[in-house]
């Protein structure tokens, strides 16, 4: 069924970079045999995997010419755990190059389109993951989150996407962009899907020193318990200048509906939100500059042909192998870390990050969760912001702070524009509070379902 749907819909959508039907069917047959001997909670469930998560024997490109032919010799811990539960990886899906982008337009390999409007972006950088779920090509998907890369495409494509607490899911096998921000993150059609997937891949991993030893709840068993009389905060900074009126109206309606679940809704303040984009776009590029230094044409990946000498090989390999957005961020990050500028840029950015984290700590002393928009707009047209990096970066204004603070957040569908484009509302919680978030999201979607318009494919 999944392979048939990929064959039918993906030529128009461009979500999949690698799909090997023979490998998929062989894996499905093995699961059929194994499930007769022991229970497998995800037996036969088709899962699409973002192409920056390593899969042994299956090409992993990061949407980049630099790794276009790279086949990992190992799988990420999250993939190992999924397959141990019986899941079937149906393919690797497109993303912005090295997860750097908000539209999946920065992929060096192909364009991915929104299933609700083929002229619009699916969001990014996990656009392929969101499209695979939204278009029915996979039941579940793995993406990655560094600054909103799962929540924003989930919002644009009318699916549910969870950014977990930093450390909740092992990063082993996730190709590094910004190591203090990166998270593997699940997408599905419902909070129940997310709970099912999260419960299989969360938990401490000795291969990742940043993975947390926190106990993993039984998310599925606890999901349908009433959320109780929660106190929900609405950050006033999330409803100012730049928020599209249709998005604002839909999210405000969603917040009112959340109040009808027996919750108290109050206004709160996150005063350092106005510094979030500037802060993120110093810290993330600085870490990217360090992490991407390994792609030099020597060890693995793309190498420029016939270099004159070692320096020429370095220069031409990185110029030809990286796309313009990746090169831009490497240069920004290198500058921010350079001698004489470190304290003025990176050092100061880390201090602001602490202030942003403290904003959340104070807010969660008063409320159980926070509600707000995911993105200032619904999905924009392909090419609309490609030549305006600042406008593209501002797409992440409401999402980057969760990554800077390390807290969990989930995007749930809350409405559509007059033109039929999906709108998401995000729910943010305190550290390791994924279960209360999913429980609230489940109650919300059950009581206030949104009838989507038909897909374009």
Q: Which of 50, 92, 163, 385 is catalytic?
A: 50
Q: Which of 2, 103, 125, 211 is catalytic?
A: 125
**Residue (of 125, 137, 60, 135) closest to 96 by Cα position:** 125
Catalytic-residue membership of 92: no
Catalytic-residue membership of 385: no
Strand blocks (E) in 269-316? none
65 Cβ partners below 8 Å, 6+ apart?
A: 108, 302, 320, 321, 322, 323
Is residue 169 within 8 A of residue 143, CB to CB? The reply is no
Edge-to-edge strand ranges of the sheet holding 369-373: 16-18, 88-93, 46-50, 140-145, 183-188, 160-163, 409-416, 422-428, 369-373, 231-235, 264-268
Token pair, residue 62, equals 């990061």
Catalytic-residue membership of 149: yes
Residue 4 CA neighbour count, 13 Å, CB half: 1
* Cα–Cα distance list, 83 to 24, 30, 56, 197 (Å): 12, 11, 12, 11
Element (H, E) at 409: strand 409-416
Q: Which of 102, 149, 395, 411 is catalytic?
A: 149
d(CA 143, CA 369): 23
Region of residue 70 (left: phi > 0; alpha: psi -120 to 50; beta: else): beta
The β-bridge relationship of strands 422-428 and 369-373 is antiparallel
How crowded is residue 59: how many other Cβ atoms within 10 Å of its Cβ? 17
| Residues annotated as catalytic (active site), given as ranges | 50, 125, 149
């Amino acid at each position: 069924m999944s392979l048939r749907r990929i064959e039918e819909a993906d030529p128009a959508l461009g979500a999949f970079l690698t799909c090997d039907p023979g490998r998929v069917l062989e894996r499905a047959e093995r699961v059929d045999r194994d499930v007769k001997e022991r229970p497998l909670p995800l037996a036969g469930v088709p899962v699409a995997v973002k192409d920056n998560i390593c899969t042994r024997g299956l090409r992993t490109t990061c949407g980049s010419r630099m790794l276009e032919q790279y086949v990992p010799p190992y799988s990420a811990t999250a993939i190992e755990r999924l397959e141990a539960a019986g899941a079937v990886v149906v393919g690797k899906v497109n993303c912005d190059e090295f997860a750097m982008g908000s539209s999946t337009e920065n992929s060096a390999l192909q364009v991915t389109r929104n299933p609700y409007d083929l002229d619009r972006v699916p969001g990014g950088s996990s656009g392929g993951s969101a499209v695979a779920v939204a278009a029915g090509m996979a039941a579940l998907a793995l993406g990655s989150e560094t600054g909103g890369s799962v929540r924003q495409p989930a919002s644009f494509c009318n699916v549910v996407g969870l950014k977990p607490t930093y450390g909740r899911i092992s990063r082993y096998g996730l190709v590094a962009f910004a190591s203090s921000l990166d998270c593997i993150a699940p997408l599905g059609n419902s909070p129940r899907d997310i709970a099912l997937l999260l419960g299989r891949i969360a938990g401490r991993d000795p291969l990742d020193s940043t993975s947390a030893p926190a106990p993993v709840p039984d998310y599925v068993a606890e999901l349908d318990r009433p959320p109780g009389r929660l106190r929900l905060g609405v950050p006033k900074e999330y409803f100012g200048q730049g928020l599209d009126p249709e998005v604002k109206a839909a999210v405000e309606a969603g917040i009112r509906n959340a109040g009808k679940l027996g919750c108290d809704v109050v206004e709160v303040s996150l005063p350092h939100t106005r510094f979030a984009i500037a802060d993120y776009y110093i810290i993330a590029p600085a870490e990217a500059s360090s992490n991407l230094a390994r792609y030099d044409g020597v060890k693995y990946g793309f190498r420029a042909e016939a270099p004159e000498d070692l320096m020429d090989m370095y220069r031409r390999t990185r110029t030809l192998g990286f796309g313009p957005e990746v090169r831009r961020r490497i240069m920004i990050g290198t500058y921010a870390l350079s001698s004489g500028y470190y304290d003025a840029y990176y050092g100061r950015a880390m201090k602001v990050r602490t202030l942003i984290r403290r904003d959340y700590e104070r807010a969660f002393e008063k409320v159980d969760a926070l509600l707000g928009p995911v993105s200032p707009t619904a999905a924009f047209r392909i090419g609309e912001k490609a030549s305006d990096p600042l406008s593209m970066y501002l797409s992440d204004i409401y999402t980057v702070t969760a990554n800077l603070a390390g807290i969990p957040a989930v995007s749930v569908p809350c409405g559509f524009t007059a033109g039929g484009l999906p709108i998401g509302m995000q729910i943010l919680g305190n550290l390791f509070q994924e279960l209360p978030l999913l429980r609230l999201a489940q109650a919300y979607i059950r009581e206030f379902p949104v009838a989507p318009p038909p897909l374009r494919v």
